[in-house]
Amino acid sequence: MNNEYGLLYQQLISMVEDERHFMPNISNTCALIYGGMKDLNWCGFYFIIDGELVLSSFQGKPACVRIPLGKGVCGTAAIQNETLIVADVHEFDGHIACDCESKSEIVVPIRYNGKVIGVFDVDSPIYGRFSAYEKEFFENACDLLQKSCDFDNFK
């Protein structure tokens, strides 16, 4: 992990190490990342509730509240259970535009007890903003949350 993201990751560890409840941890994760990284215009979490992704903690402009599984970048990442990096969201078939200023996006599945329970979504107003460095950082951050938080009662 590069130095910039290594420091953010250490800050994230410090924030979540003594807290098991997922809500303050995901809220602080959004605030830390949104405030600590350049060229972002949205970051937040969606969780699967009753068969669809439902908006949770986030930073940025108001967002889509519900996203069907398999639809858009978020719904596709959840169904495929893999991180998706989209350099140009306008090229992604079925992209859901919550903010017309978003140009690129990365979505990381959130897993708990071996299954996908949601996604972490980060958008940028810059084309091609996300690379392998961000992928590694966001996946590590989501793994940390999965290990640190009790998601048993997230609904």
Instruction: Note the pLDDT tens digit of each residue in 46-78.
Output: 999 999 999 999 999 999 999 999 999 999 999
Those residues whose C-beta lies under 8 Å from the C-beta of residue 115, and which sit 6 or more positions away, are none
Of 103, 57, 98, 59, the closest CA to residue 75 belongs to 98
Q: Give residue 152's pLDDT.
A: 79
Residue 98 has pLDDT above 90, yes or no: no
pTM recorded for the entire structure: 0.94
* Domains, the chain: 3-148 (3.30.450.40)
**Contact (CB, 8 A) for 103 and 124:** yes
At 45, the pLDDT band (50, 70, 90 cuts) reads: very high
Least confident of 16-20, 97-101, 120-124: 97-101
Query: How many residues does the structure list for the chain?
Result: 155
Residue 115 has pLDDT above 90, yes or no: yes
Amino acid (one-letter) located at 125: P
Q: Considering all CA atoms of the chain, what is the largest pairwise distance in Å, rounded to the nearest integer?
A: 42
Question: Percentage of residues in the chain with pLDDT exceeding 90?
Answer: 79
Q: Give residue 101's pLDDT.
A: 84
**Rounded distance, CA 99 to CA 73, Å?**
14
Q: Give residue 1's pLDDT.
A: 59
Q: Give residue 151's pLDDT.
A: 83
Q: In what order do the strands lie in the sheet with 66-68?
A: 66-68, 52-60, 42-49, 115-124, 104-112, 84-86
**Rounded distance, CA 132 to CA 143, Å?**
16
